[in-house]
Amino acid sequence: MIPVDDKNFWDKETFSHPSFLQSWQWGELQKKIGRRVFRFNVSGLLASAIEQKLPLGQTYLYIPHGPVIRSATDDSWRNFINEAGNIAGAKKPVFLRIEPLAREFRGESMQKILKEQGFQLTKPVQPETTLLIDLRRDENEILGSMEHDTRYSVRTAGKRGVTVEFINGNDKKKEFETFWKIFSETNQRHGLKSYPKIYYEEVARLEGECSSKIALAKAEGEVVGAAIFVYFGERVFYLFAGSRAGYGKFNAPTYLLWQAMLDAKKSGYKYFDFWGISHENENWAKITAFKKSFGGEEITSSGAWDYVFNKPAYLAYNLAKRFI
């Protein structure tokens, strides 16, 4: 029997995967916010799939940053696709959407593999490119790889008395409202979309193999910046952040990130993941420039791919999206 409901097994199999979206805890979070989650491990392909609802009672399965790939033979993919098509019961999903992170598998292009198995490239859900900083390097080397203005901001923030506190465990519940106030104000100020509040509360509650911390930056006795970081495997992920208007001279967002890197390095994590940049999306221009100012290596995934089970319904779904 394949122990897909065994948390210890799942934690062991996904520990080295470069994304927390396939962790056990992330699947449990999805259940808490009302989604069905199916875990399966078939012929060397392991995945946590989230059921997404479509009109007229239809659904599709979404595997964020997955599957975790141990084998990529024709039989492996055939068995995997068959399992995905039948796992939800009598009514097949309209399609299966996957997001393999690897660009290749054992020397063969992942895109070539997926095309041969009948998958088709689609619009990405998660950012295709992220920025990764290697925390195994010396602290001065990490700082030295940043742009001059970013290094200056880090140093002047410290001189101007900015401090950063990292909050975990039960204290996160008490400080979540502080984060939420700053985060929601930032989104409103910049006209950014966000999920319902409960989603961020559940992320802040993460504990175990996939955990989170709230970070608060203070200046002149006021909390002027806040962020949530997620910790999984060998990486720390910069997920959500906000800052108060009128405190720009303190460079709190920059200093907060630098302190997060130092905290992660001290805790033994190997990489700091900025979670997404884009050179094509103009709406991401400022945040991409901000993240890239810290240096690091750009990592691009294989993108999002669909395997269609119901072609008429899939066509209707794509036509409807054009008018939304």
pLDDT recorded at residue 11: 94
Identify the domain containing residue 305 by its residue range. Answer: 7-128+301-321
Q: Which two tokens stand for residue 57?
A: 């009672």
* 33/73 same-domain check: yes
Q: Which residue has the higher pLDDT, 199 or 193?
A: 199
Q: Is residue 171 part of a domain?
A: yes
Asked if residue 240 has pLDDT above 50, the reply is yes
Q: Is residue 201 part of a domain?
A: yes
pLDDT recorded at residue 193: 87
Q: Is residue 40 part of a domain?
A: yes
Please list, in sequence order, all residues whose beta carbon lies within 8 angstroms of the beta carbon of residue 287, skipping any fewer than 6 positions away: 277
pLDDT recorded at residue 1: 42
pLDDT recorded at residue 4: 81
* 160/218 same-domain check: yes
- Taking the C-alpha atoms of residue 271 and residue 151, their distance in angstroms, rounded to an integer, is 19
Q: Rounded to whole angstroms, what are the CA distances from 129 to 101, 107, 187, 275, 305?
A: 10, 21, 22, 8, 16
pLDDT in tens, 42-94: 999 999 999 999 998 999 999 999 999 999 899 999 999 999 999 877 689 99
Q: Is residue 1 part of a domain?
A: no
CATH number at residue 73: 3.40.630.30
* 136/224 same-domain check: yes
Q: Is residue 2 part of a domain?
A: no
pLDDT in tens, 113-127: 999 999 999 999 999
pLDDT recorded at residue 88: 74
* 259/162 same-domain check: yes
* 155/247 same-domain check: yes
